[in-house]
Amino acid sequence: MPSAVQHSTSTQKAGSQHSDFVAVTEKILKECSLLYSNKDNGLVKIAEQLGVKLSAPRKKVVILLIGNHSAGKSSFINWYINENVQKTGVAIETQGFVLVTSGKRRESLTGNATLHLYPHFHTLEKINGVVDFLSTEISTSKEKKFNFITFVDTPGLVDGDMQYPFDVNEAVHWLGGVADLIFVFFDPIGQALCKRTLSIVERLNIEYADKLHFYLTKADDAGNEADRQKVMMQIVQELCKRPGLNRTAFSMPAIFIPNIGKETSCMNQIDLVCDEIEKAININIQNTMNKLDRDCELLLEEAKSKLELNNENDAYNSANFAKAMCVGVLAGGTLLWFMSAISPVTRNDQYSTFLQSKKNDQQEVAKEYVFTVVFTGAVVQAVMWTLGYKPTLSRKEKKQIIAAQEYIKKTVKSKKELLYRDYLDLSVGNDDL
Ligand SMILES: Nc1nc2c(ncn2[C@@H]2O[C@H](COP(=O)(O)OP(=O)(O)O)[C@@H](O)[C@H]2O)c(=O)[nH]1
Ligand SMILES: [Mg+2]
């Protein structure tokens, strides 16, 4: 086959693999999310009924970009989504935190709107003043795997007199906790060894080492291969001086934005960044399905123990009721006997008087019976109160729990199996399953 034809066939194949990946991933994440958030019988609602706290899985992978001012963070985002949503330049352009995510139409959201879009970002409010410097850029871009990503662009980090209107170190650290990936960008000409960047990275490395990935950016500006190696060695040496950063190996692919940079013979390893993102998206899908699995088990377990407890409480209450009835009937019987013993009805010596005032006595008897019934009821209540009454589910609640159990066992679990098959089919192929 001529090489041009071969090339176009392989490009077509890669293109169709990409659209398959996007379609299947979108379907899995959307359906999983619906299983949680469905207003009528979503898992979040079922969990509420069972008194369990459950949150829907996150659909998008959060990627935090940090680094010195002018390291190329915003340019990377613009390149990835092929749209200039973020300002770039040598001046300090990004002053606050900007979330860049995909959506139906191009829009910019303020800090408070951002917190509504990302409820799990709410505790960021604890850091004074950050929300005023938080915003979201929604882009309609369908480039690469942008559909499944939220980038978090951060203010360029600098040392010295620069005053941030909030505790920037604290805010970056907090965002590191929420992020799935943290990309640290070092550029060869800028202040690659900015102390603020190093101390933030050191702190992040202690808790989130596995999320951290280091890149030498603007590699086209780093001179020839030997210069580039020298810059990289300098950065690594500086990183290793920090006790919290003493790793045995530092991987630091060298990247540059195609078309922005100078002509260079150096290799661009920007594809490795995209691979890392794709890996995180795959992990996110698997985590989402595993979470669905675990949450189903958790809810079934909770429903089962709620019904079991209800049966136990029912049995306990019934046994106590039987006991209370015995005591009540005995007490009531005794009272009736006692009242009868002194009543003119049974007293022979008063028999004639009884006949004379029959009507009055009938009323007396009726009163005695009513009193006995009330007394028996009171004794039953008192005994029940002494023995204790355990709360039980109403018929409606019980029915709801049984319906939820059925729904999870039949509908949710079988849907999850189908989604798993779709996912494996995508990665392994139908024939190998
Ligand atoms: N030569 C070169 N310049 C770049 C590259 N990436 C970004 N820049 C330039 O570096 C400057 C700062 O980039 P920017 O993305 O604003 O950095 P940020 O402060 O980290 O967001 C801009 O003028 C960009 O055009 C690159 O890969 N190569
Ligand atoms: Mg920027």
Q: What pLDDT does residue 190 have?
A: 58
Q: Which atom of ligand 1 is nearest to the CA of 156?
A: 19
Q: Are residues 70 and 210 in the same domain?
A: yes
Q: What is the CATH number of the domain that holds 213?
A: 3.40.50.300
Nearest to 333 by CA among 364, 379, 366: 379
Contacts 24+ apart (CB under 8 A), 377-381: 377/328, 379/324, 379/327, 379/328, 379/331, 379/332, 380/321, 380/324, 380/325, 380/327, 380/328, 381/324
Domain presence at residue 47: no
Q: Are residues 313 and 188 in the same domain?
A: no
CB 292 within 8 A of CB 57: yes
Q: Are residues 231 and 361 in the same domain?
A: no
Residue 56 three-state SS: coil
Q: What pLDDT does residue 111 have?
A: 94
Concatenate the DSSP letters of all residues of 207-239 into one string. HHGGGEEEEE--GGGS-SHHHHHHHHHHHHHHH
**Residue located nearest, by CA, to atom 4 of ligand 1:** 218
Q: What pLDDT does residue 427 have?
A: 75
Nearest to 95 by CA among 24, 185, 166: 166
Q: Are residues 133 and 261 in the same domain?
A: yes
Q: What pLDDT does residue 97 have?
A: 94
Give the Å distance between the CA of 248 and the centre of ligand 1: 30
Concatenate the DSSP letters of all residues of 135-178 into one string. EEEEE----TTGGGEEEEE-PPB--TTPPPSS-HHHHHHHHHHH
The ligand with the least distance to the CA atom of 261 is: 1
**Among candidate residues 268, 287, 305, the one where a domain is terminated:** 268
- What total number of domains does the chain contain? 2
Domain presence at residue 159: yes
CB 52 within 8 A of CB 301: no
Q: Are residues 194 and 310 in the same domain?
A: no
Q: What pLDDT does residue 416 have?
A: 92
How many CB atoms are located within 10 Å of the residue 22 CB?
16
Domain presence at residue 422: no
Report the distance separating Cα 100 and Cα 136, nearest Å: 6
Nearest to 22 by CA among 178, 183, 149, 151: 149
Nearest to 145 by CA among 268, 275, 9: 275
Q: Are residues 263 and 188 in the same domain?
A: yes
Question: Does 187 sit in the ligand 1 pocket, CB within 6 Å?
Answer: no
Q: Are residues 190 and 314 in the same domain?
A: no
Question: Does 78 sit in the ligand 1 pocket, CB within 6 Å?
Answer: no
Q: Are residues 134 and 177 in the same domain?
A: yes
Domain presence at residue 27: no
Domain presence at residue 280: no
Local mean pLDDT, 10-residue blocks, the chain (433 residues): 49 66 89 91 93 90 93 96 91 81 96 91 90 96 95 85 83 96 89 78 93 94 87 87 78 90 82 96 93 96 96 93 92 86 58 57 79 91 89 94 95 92 80 53
Task: Report pTM.
Answer: 0.82
Question: Does 75 sit in the ligand 1 pocket, CB within 6 Å?
Answer: yes
Q: What pLDDT does residue 34 have?
A: 92
In sequence order, which residues have a C-beta less than 8 Å from that of residue 383 and are 6 or more positions away?
Answer: 320, 323, 324, 327, 328
Q: What pLDDT does residue 363 have?
A: 76
Question: Does 188 sit in the ligand 1 pocket, CB within 6 Å?
Answer: no
Report the distance separating Cα 270 and Cα 87, nearest Å: 21
In sequence order, which residues have a C-beta less than 8 Å from that of residue 375 and are 6 or more positions away?
Answer: 331, 332, 335
Which domain range does residue 343 map to?
295-405
**253 is written with which tokens?**
């692919």
Report the distance separating Cα 22 and Cα 281, nearest Å: 11
Domain presence at residue 340: yes
Q: Is 232 exposed, middle or buried (0-12, 13-18, 19+ CB in 10 A)?
A: buried
Torsion of CA 397, 403, 405, 409, to 10 degrees: -170
Q: Please report where in the chains the tokens 């990936």 appear, as a residue.
A: 181
Phi, psi of 130 (to 5 degrees): -65, -40
Give the Å distance between the CA of 93 and the centre of ligand 2: 5
Q: Are residues 224 and 340 in the same domain?
A: no
Q: Are residues 262 and 335 in the same domain?
A: no
Question: Does 93 sit in the ligand 1 pocket, CB within 6 Å?
Answer: yes
Question: Does 257 sit in the ligand 1 pocket, CB within 6 Å?
Answer: yes
Distances (CA, A) of 36 to 31, 40, 101, 104, 417: 9, 10, 22, 22, 16
Residue 350 three-state SS: helix
Question: Does 156 sit in the ligand 1 pocket, CB within 6 Å?
Answer: yes
Q: Are residues 160 and 220 in the same domain?
A: yes
Domain presence at residue 18: no
Q: Are residues 301 and 234 in the same domain?
A: no
Domain presence at residue 25: no
